[in-house]
Amino acid sequence: MFLVPWCVQAFRQRAFREHVRPLPIQDMKMTRDMPINAYADHSDQQPERSDSDMLLSAILEATADGILVVDSRGQVLKANRRFLDMWRIPDSLMSEEDDNAMLSFAAGHLLEPERFLARVKELYKSSRERFGVLNFKDGRIFERYSRPLIVDGQLAGGVWIFRDVTKRKRMERRLQRISADLEKKVSERTVELARANDALKVLLQQNAEAKAELERRVLENINMFILPQIEALEKLISGDKLRSYLNILRTNLDLITSSFSEQLSLNNLGRLTPREMQIANFVRHGNSSKEIADLLGLSVRTVESYRDSLRKKLGLKNKKVNLRSYLLSLR
């Protein structure tokens, strides 16, 4: 990962294969301008080693992550400039031999230094790959990836890779806050809609009850005050013309008090006029076009025109459906 296999291979071929002893820290002359290097005391092979080491150093410096290579005792073998910059290690500290001092300096940047130091000691002896997250006091966040350095089947040290993920973590936290805020708003809105829906159900129920009560009262008043008077008039009147008008009056009252007019309004494809509603009621009661024309003072042709309009608005045009049968089906 991140060119680490190349680093490991170079060390196996160059240093550990020949049992190269790392120089003390003060002899490495580590600065921010030059990566930490490990050289062997074989002067006859020095040109070859220098070329290989230069290639290895160039590879390390080309990476965007901080890379640190240590032996099994925790002594620094190799590091790139990015590592020094990320941990802000001063040149004066790098020139000392005290590895513990450098480790303590690095831990001092962290929110949990004791935990970090304990984990470092554990990783020095571990042969497993490990991953962790380091939180700095100044708000920076590093991801740490470590893997063992195995030479000839033996644990010889470890390779540590550090990546600065501060910007990414901040963006993730920001997105998490935005997501949490949105979820909260959606939850609150859902509760509000549920309450509004419950209130609407109550209003609709109250409206239905009020409507039913109004219809009950209208029907009761008609049956109590109007129909008895019509029945009394029918007994007193002998002329056909007057009886026809009384019949119209009774039919219209039936239209008002029954559910027929409501069902007719719900089932027609267009809005019926009052005259069309009146004629539809006559047809429903079995009156012919001539009888309807006589009762309403219209021509038969006009009544037929109304009947045709009714069939069209009720969706019966060009269908073999009897108009009266259809109107009787509306209950």
Which residue range(s) make up the domain with 72?
A: 4-164
Q: For position 38, what pLDDT does the model report?
A: 38
Confidence (pTM): 0.47
One-character DSSP codes across 213-259: HHHHHHHHHIIIIIHHHHHHHHHH---HHHHHHHHHHHHHHHHHHSS
Cα 217 to chain centroid distance, Å, stands at 53
Task: Provide the number of structural domains found in the chain.
Answer: 3
Q: For position 166, what pLDDT does the model report?
A: 95
Residues 44 and 124 both lie in one domain: yes
Model confidence pLDDT, tens digit, residues 260-317: 556 655 555 457 787 888 888 888 888 899 988 888 889 999 999 999 999 998 888 8
Residues 130 and 170 both lie in one domain: no
Structure tokens at 19: 């049992």
Residues 133 and 159 both lie in one domain: yes
Which of these three, 136, 164, 192, is where a domain ends?
A: 164
The answer to the question of residue 230 being in a domain is: no
The answer to the question of residue 79 being in a domain is: yes
How far apart are the C-alpha atoms of 14 and 5, rounded to whole Å? 14
Model confidence pLDDT, tens digit, residues 185-201: 999 999 999 999 999 99
**151 strand-pairing partners:** 154
Residues 11 and 152 both lie in one domain: yes
Residues 57 and 107 both lie in one domain: yes
Structure tokens at 215: 């219809």
Q: For position 45, what pLDDT does the model report?
A: 47
Structure tokens at 87: 């941990």
* Closest to 125 (Cα-Cα) out of 100, 157, 96: 157
User: Angle at which helices 240-257 and 227-236 pack, to 10 degrees?
Assistant: 170
Lowest mean pLDDT among 118-132, 238-252, 278-292: 238-252
